[in-house]
A and B are shown apart, each in its own frame.
Chain A
Amino acid sequence: AQSVTQLGSHVSVSEGALVLLRCNYSSSVPPYLFWYVQYPNQGLQLLLKYTTGATLVKGINGFEAEFKKSETSFHLTKPSAHMSDAAEYFCAVSDRTGANNLFFGTGTRLTVIP
């Protein structure tokens, strides 16, 4: 069974500051890992994903995440926050059976302070 824990339901950063959104997962099998972003009244948009290979994954809008198996973590980072990054971010995990059944965390709302 898979599960995802996102630490911090709300995160505030100043514009230009580092963004760090935390995600820990639990999975009985090697996982696929995802970060999605959701803007108000919009659907979810894929930021990045880890399936196999390089553990540091680069996504859209300057975001990246590192898969750390020993820590069961997949934290999302961005060196410099922009006002347009304000949104809800969801970490998700799926198993590797190919069913693409995503288990989502409860989300982290990012506020960017000018």
Chain B
Amino acid sequence: EAGVAQSPRYKIIEKRQSVAFWCNPISGHATLYWYQQILGQGPKLLIQFQNNGVVDDSQLPKDRFSAERLKGVDSTLKIQPAKLEDSAVYLCASSFDIFNTEAFFGQGTRLTVV
């Protein structure tokens, strides 16, 4: 069974530029999550989708971050404009449904903002 796929693996951008990350969840998984992991900290949930609807985006900085999951499968997370403090690993995870307690994580995208 293929796992959660993320791309790119690494990205370096200058501050004020924009960037997008892509995630393809495990086939059949209805719930998709984006987490931000800053160096030395645990992952923090940014947004959670159930199919193509948003369940929780309370910790998403909506002035610069946006995410979509238009067809209920792949998802894109965008940052525009990026700030230095956005440097982090962005992890995508998926679970079978909202009530399933095991989330499977991708390898993440490491973003460096200079």
A interface residues with partner B (beta carbon < 8 Å): 4, 9, 32, 34, 36, 41-46, 49, 51, 90, 92, 94, 98-107
- A101: contacting residue among B45, B104, B107, CB under 8 A: B45
A43→B42 contact, CB < 8 A: no
The answer to whether A102 and B45 touch (CB under 8 A), given A32-B101, A44-B105, is yes
Residue B51, interface by CB 8 Å: no
**Chain A residues within 8 Å of B98, by CB:** 98-100
The answer to whether A44 and B48 touch (CB under 8 A), given A100-B101, A100-B103, A101-B56, is no
A45→B105 contact, CB < 8 A: yes
Q: Given contacts A106-B42, A107-B40, could you give 7 more A-B pairs where the C-beta distance is less than 8 Å? A: A41-B107, A43-B106, A90-B42, A94-B101, A100-B99, A102-B43, A102-B45
A104→B42 contact, CB < 8 A: yes
CB distance from A92 to the nearest CB of B (A): 7
Residue B55, interface by CB 8 Å: yes
- A102: contacting residue among B4, B41, B103, B107, CB under 8 A: B103
**Chain A residues within 8 Å of B99, by CB:** 98, 100
**Chain B residues within 8 Å of A9, by CB:** 40
Residue B64, interface by CB 8 Å: no
- B102: contacting residue among A4, A41, A49, CB under 8 A: A49
CB-nearest residue of chain A to B31: A100
B42→A105 contact, CB < 8 A: yes
Per the 8 Å Cβ criterion, residues 9-49 of B in contact with A are: 31, 33, 40-45, 48
